């Protein structure tokens, strides 16, 4: 089966990203070996030091997993091409302007952002502001209406 190619045009990506705030808090935990029973992470990353799990906080608590970062999960609902250039940078820059940290994970179809849980609404508003201000710019891919 051949998958559909994602969008590459940065201005179009930004205008179409439609950020979706998913319910509930998520945490980053780390384990050695397999995740505990009953744990269904939404992201796993294998590193030399162990496997990072991003999972609902209630599952981490039930499994007795330690964590120190509680995040909100925002999905950018535009189908971005994995080789597109600039989306992560533009999103990170906009969130940095708002003073919001962001951990980005790229899936095949969408980009997923994990931001501090208590700043989720502010992060979505910043992303919507970015989407509303994205215009085509022949020289650089995008230009901001308000800058």
Residue 55 within a domain: yes
Residue 144 within a domain: no
Residue 108 within a domain: yes
pTM: 0.87
The total number of structural domains in the chain stands at 1
Share of residues in the chain with pLDDT > 90 (%):
73
Residue 38 within a domain: yes
Q: Given a cut of 80, is residue 69 above it in pLDDT?
A: yes
Q: How far apart are alpha carbons 15 and 3 in whole angstroms?
A: 23
Residue 146 within a domain: no
What sign for the dihedral angle of Cα 61, 66, 72, 76?
A: negative
The range of the structural domain enclosing residue 47 comes to 10-138
- Please write the tens of the pLDDT for every residue from 129-143: 999 987 655 344 444
pLDDT for 10 equals 85
Burial class, 73, CB count within 10 angstroms (exposed 0-12 / middle 13-18 / buried 19+): buried
- Kindly report the backbone phi and psi dihedral angles of residue 98, in degrees, each rounded to the nearest multiple of 5, phi listed first: -85, 0
Contacts with 95 (C-beta within 8 Å, 6 or more apart), sequence order: 101, 102, 113, 115, 123, 126, 127
CATH number of the domain at 56, please.
Answer: 3.30.2130.10
pLDDT grade, residue 2 (50/70/90)? low
- Please write the tens of the pLDDT for every residue from 78-104: 998 888 888 999 999 999 999 999 999
Cβ 94 vs Cβ 133: under 8 Å: no
């Amino acid at each position: 089966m051949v998958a559909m190619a994602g969008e590459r045009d940065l201005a179009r990506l930004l205008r179409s990203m439609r950020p979706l705030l998913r319910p509930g808090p998520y945490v980053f935990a780390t384990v050695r070996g397999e995740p505990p029973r009953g744990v269904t992470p939404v992201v796993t990353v294998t590193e030399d030091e162990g496997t990072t799990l991003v999972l609902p906080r209630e599952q981490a608590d039930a499994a007795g997993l330690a964590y120190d970062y509680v995040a909100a999960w925002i999905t950018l609902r535009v189908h971005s091409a994995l080789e597109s250039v600039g989306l992560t940078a533009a999103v990170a820059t906009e969130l940095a302007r708002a003073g919001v940290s962001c951990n980005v994970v790229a899936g095949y179809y969408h980009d997923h952002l994990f931001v501090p849980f208590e700043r989720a609404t502010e992060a979505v508003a910043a992303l919507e502001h970015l989407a509303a201000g994205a215009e085509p710019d022949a020289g650089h891919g995008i230009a901001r209406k308000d800058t």
